[in-house]
Amino acid sequence: MDKDQYNLLTKLQVYQFAAEDLGMFLNTHPENEKAIHDFNYVIKKQQMIKEEYEKRYGPLTPDRSVEEGDRWRWIDDPWPWEIE
């Protein structure tokens, strides 16, 4: 995996984890305004990065539409356990 892809993936992991952790906090604090504000910020960032990553390197989930004429890229490597 080239350096650009690796860096973008790391960025996605950072924001996705932040969203996951804040969401978990909100389960037990569903009215916490600060956490909701932070959650909205990281989820927006996460969505933007994910969109860019998928456009450049292919789908992260097998529920993305495929451009007419393109092939099914879901199965392409590297799979997560193959990334060095």
Partner 1 sequence: MWIYEKKLEYPVRVSQPDVRMAKYLITQFGGPDGELGAAVRYLSQRYTMPINQAKGTLTDIGSEEFGHWEMIGTMVYKLLKDASVDEIKKAGLGGYYAEHARGVYPQSAGDVPFSAAAFAVKGDAVADLTENMAAEEKARATYETLLQLTDDACLKDSIKFLREREVVHFQRFGECLRLVQEYNNSKKCFATS
Q: Which residues bind partner 1 (CB under 8 A)?
A: 62, 74-77, 79-81
The span from the CA of 8 to the CA of 68, in Å, is 26
User: Shortest gap between Cβ of 67 and partner 1 (angstroms)?
Assistant: 19
Structure tokens that stand for 44 in this block: 């927006």
Question: CA 63 to CA 84: how far, in whole Å?
Answer: 26
**DSSP type of residue 79:** P
Nearer to partner 1, 55 or 79 (CB): 79
Query: Shortest Cβ distance from residue 66 to partner 1 (Å)?
Result: 14
Which CB sits closer to partner 1, 34 or 76?
76
Instruction: Report, in Å, the least distance between residue 23 CB and partner 1.
Output: 11
Q: Closer to partner 1 by CB, 26 or 33: give it.
A: 26
Euclidean distance between CA atoms 52 and 11, whole angstroms = 11
